[in-house]
Structure 1
Amino acid sequence: MAASKKVKSLTKAEAQAIFDRFHQMDPEPTGELDYINAYTLLVAVVLSAQATDVGVNKATKRLFELAPDPASMVALGQERIEELVKTIGLFRTKAKNVYALSQMLIDLHGGEVPDDRDSLEALPGVGRKTANVVLNIYFKQPTIAVDTHLFRVGNRTGMAIGKTPLAVEQKLEKMVPAEYMLHAHHWLILHGRYICKARTPECWRCIIAEWCHYEPKSPLPRGK
């Protein structure tokens, strides 16, 4: 595959067309992590760092049956949490963070998950991306969580060219039409996960290829 050329930034009209198409094809996109409430969503997102959603869902099924709230999670104890999530990468560190953030939610927030970024980011294991996911999915705030998929799509398409996740996030906030801000996060992540893949983007079946500035587009593989 030929090396791609330097990508030029999309125009706002092109970004509008892209999100019009996303909305047309999937009006109500959803995340792929399983959760019961705001707390279990927070825990699931913390556990999902450098792990697949499928792998996290397998581990959290039993974990959330036993501990659907901070108090029951603290009662489990860190070692038991480790046992339940040991199939996930970095499980010891993640179990430590889950235990600690659960205790902090009890101590500082009455066992409830706060709905502001600063309070969320003050919790162990919670960074800007995790906070944005929780704020977007559970609290319906128009935040954009930049993971590796979204970072790739933003840069590759020309929609949000930036060297850091924060730079991409800030550019997307300017490029995404206001009426699509709530769902932009999901559309872009799912697009990166299943179509605009890291090694070879599947341009031949991309629904936004006509506006994407990535070149050369990947051709349909032989035999397909």
Structure 2
Amino acid sequence: MNAQQIQTFFATLRAANPSPQTELEYASVFELLSAVLLSAQATDVGVNKATRRLFPVANTPQKILTLGLEGLSEYIRTIGLYRSKAKHLMATCQILVEQHGGQVPRSREALEALPGVGRKTANVVLNVAFGEPTMAVDTHLFRVSNRTGLAPGKTPLAVEMGLLKRIPAEFMVDAHHWLILHGRYVCKARQPLCSACTVSSQCDHGRRLQSVLD
């Protein structure tokens, strides 16, 4: 994709969804951090079902610690890898209470120092909670970036760096939401819905497909 195609690509996505939001449900920065931590290798729908039960009971680091490991595990046992995620969340809450006054830190370094929080999770929190122009590369962003030619790369970090370099500044804050939603509902892994895609004419894959059909 060239610069003009990228501009049109994101302008089209923005016109269809001017204010994209994460599909994870949260009411505070800590709830967001917890939900993203729990969402690794799980669906947002599955995480939301669990946190709808958990957050009314425990929605701060101290309340999670008060629940204890077994108590927390009972609330999130429907989520994949719930045992290890419960341990990570408990350890994260301990650090938040002891080192950050119970608040979620705003720096990447401090976020990535939390158990279970990697670069992708830190990027989500920095973007969604604090409005920073970060790019959280999950499986959807990785696939869409490579398939469309937007920012090809062999690793998530390479794709992230490519996206940060190539996406115009006016789209940057919302770009990762548009790309996630596009990958989740249109540019699917096995059967991309190219015939229903509003940006296929800007996409390398879409243009190749159209040339074959022509």
Q: TM-score, normalised by structure 1?
A: 0.92
Find the residue that maps to 1:216 and give its secondary structure. Answer: helix
Q: Tell me the amino acid that sits aligned with residue 47 of structure 1.
A: L
Q: Does 1:157 align with 2:144?
A: no
Q: CA deviation at 1:23?
A: 1.1
The offset of 1:36, in angstroms, is 1.3
What amino acid sits opposite 2:130 in the alignment? F
Q: Tell me, yes or no, if structure 1 residue 51 matches structure 2 residue 51.
A: no
- After TM superposition, give the deviation of residue 216 of structure 1 in Å: 2.4
What pairs with 1:100-179 in structure 2 (closer than 5 Å)? 100-179=91-170
> Which deviations, in whole Å up to 9, do the C-alpha atoms of 1:126-149 show, x marking residues without a partner?
000000001111111111100000
1:63 and 2:54 correspond: yes
- Give the counterpart of 1:216 among 204, 209, 212: 209
How many pairs align?
209
Cα distance in structure 1, aligned partners of 2:166 and 2:184: 21
Residue deviations 1:16-46, cap 9 Å, x none? 1101111111110001000110001000000
Q: Which 5+ residue runs of structure 1 have no aligned equivalent?
A: 1-9, 220-224
Partner Cα distance (1:19, 1:70) in 2: 37
Q: Percent identity?
A: 56
| Distance (whole Å) between structure 2 residues aligned to residue 192 and residue 201 of structure 1 | 9
Distance 1:31 1:207 in 2: 21
For the residues of structure 2 that align with 1:122 and 1:207, how far apart are their CA atoms?
Answer: 40
d(CA) in 2 for partners of 1:189 and 1:77?
A: 34
Moved over 3 A (4+): none
One-letter amino acid matched to 2:199: I
Match of 1:206 among 193, 197, 204: 197
Indicate which of 77, 80, 83 corresponds to 2:68: 77
| Structure-1 separation of matches of 2:159 and 2:102 | 33
- Counterpart position of 2:31: 40
Structure 2 residues without counterparts, runs of 5 or longer: none
Partner of residue 179, structure 2: 188
- Determine the C-alpha separation between the residues in 1 that align with 2:179 and 2:62: 35
For 2:171, what is the secondary structure of its paired residue? helix
Q: CA RMSD in A?
A: 1.0
Higher relative contact order (CA 8 A, sep 6+): 1
